[in-house]
Amino acid sequence: MSKPSWLEDTGSQTLARRKALRWLGAPAAALAASTALSDEIWISDTHSHSALRFNDNSCLRCELTQSGVSLLSWALVADGPFIQRMPNGGIQVNFKPNPEQYRDAFDRMFKGMQRRIRAEGLQLALSPADVDLALQGQLRIVLSTEGAQYLGGDPQHLDVVYSLGVRQIGLGHFVEGDLLDIRTEAPKLGGLSELGREVIRRCNAMGILVDLAHASDQAVAQALEVSKQPMLWSHSAITRQATDWRSRSNHVMSISLANAKVLAHRGGVVGMWPSRFNFDDPRAYVAALGEAVAMVGEDHVAFGTDMQGLAPASTMMTTYSGMREVVNLMLAANMPERTVRKLAGENYARLLKTVMQARSVS
C-alpha cells in the first residue's frame, strides 16, 4: 500500500509520525482556519458507550449534535455485569454465567437503553436510508453489542435482537464464549468455532454488521474467510507485529497488520482507538490515523472511540468535543479534505450501509 501524498518522503512508521507531529505544531491561525470547514464534516463512531449510565441526567443528543456526530454505534456490553475493572485499568472476570443469566442481563441493560432512547427522542439506524440521513447530518444511533454470549448457542436468537433494532454485533469481549477465541485468554476453540461460523453467515444474510474486535488473530483470519460481507474491527490500533494473550504490551488489543490488510481488501474498516494505551494526546492520534491510512488505505480507517468505556487513566477524551478537535487537527495538518471526510464519518457509514443492503438481496 503506497503512502498518501501528505505522508511522502517518510522512510518508516516513526518518521511518518514525526512529520505529522511537525505539521500538527502549526500556528493557532491554521487551526482556526480549519474550523469553518470542520463544522461541515459529520462524525461517525464505530464503537461507543456514551450515556452508559442510563438513568443519569446528561443529554446524549445534546453532546452529539453540538459536536457534529451524526452516526454513533452505541454498544451494550453483553458480559458487563460479570466483569470488573481493576485500579490498574485491567479487566477481571468475576464469573462465567450460564445462557439464562446472559439473557437476563441483556434484557435488563437493553431496557435501560430503550428508556434513554425514548426519553431523548433518538432515532435508530435501521436501514440504508437511515445511514443516508446520517450522512446528511441527521443523528442516527446504531444499536450494537460487545460480545454475543446472550445468543446462548442459538443463532436463531439473532431474529430477536434484530427485531429490537440491533444492527451491529461484536462476537467477543472479555468473558470467554462459544463463538471464537478472544485476545485476552489462552485459545481453546482453535480460533472460530462452527457455531461462530454459523452466526457470521446468519448475520450476513440478515444485514447485521459483524465486529471482530477482541477476537484472536486466528479467529479474525478465519472469520474473514467465512464472511461474504465486509467486516469491522471497531476499536484499537494496527500493530505491525502480531500479539496475543501472552503479550504484556499495550498493543495486546490491536489487530495485526496482516489481518488488517485482508479486512481492508474485503471492504472492511478499522476503527482507530484514541486511548492512552496507544497515543499520548490528540496530535499523536491524528498522526497514527495517517499511519493507518498508509498501511491499509484511506477507505478503511475510521474513528472508534470506545467513549466512556475506558478507565480514567486510559481515557484521552470524555466527550465528543474532543473528536471535533481531532477533525480540526486533521485539517490543520493538511490532510486532504476528502480523506478527513472518509475517516471522520463516511467509511463507517459506507460499511454499515453495504452490510445492511445485503439483507434485501439475500
Question: Which structural domain range is residue 66 located in?
Answer: 5-361
Report d(CA 138, CA 123) in Å as an integer: 9
Would you state the pLDDT for residue 96? 82
Report d(CA 193, CA 91) in Å as an integer: 24
Amino acid at 76: L
Q: What is the mean pLDDT of the chain?
A: 88
CA triple 212-73-333, angle to 5 deg: 90
53-91 pLDDT, tens digit per residue, is 666 778 999 999 999 999 999 999 998 888 887 776 678
The CATH number of residue 273's host domain is 3.20.20.140
How many domains does the chain divide into?
1
The pTM assigned to this predicted structure is 0.89
Would you state the pLDDT for residue 27? 52
Report whether pLDDT(18) > 80. Answer: no
| Residue that is written with C-alpha cell 448457542 in the block | 153
Position with higher pLDDT, 75 vs 3: 75
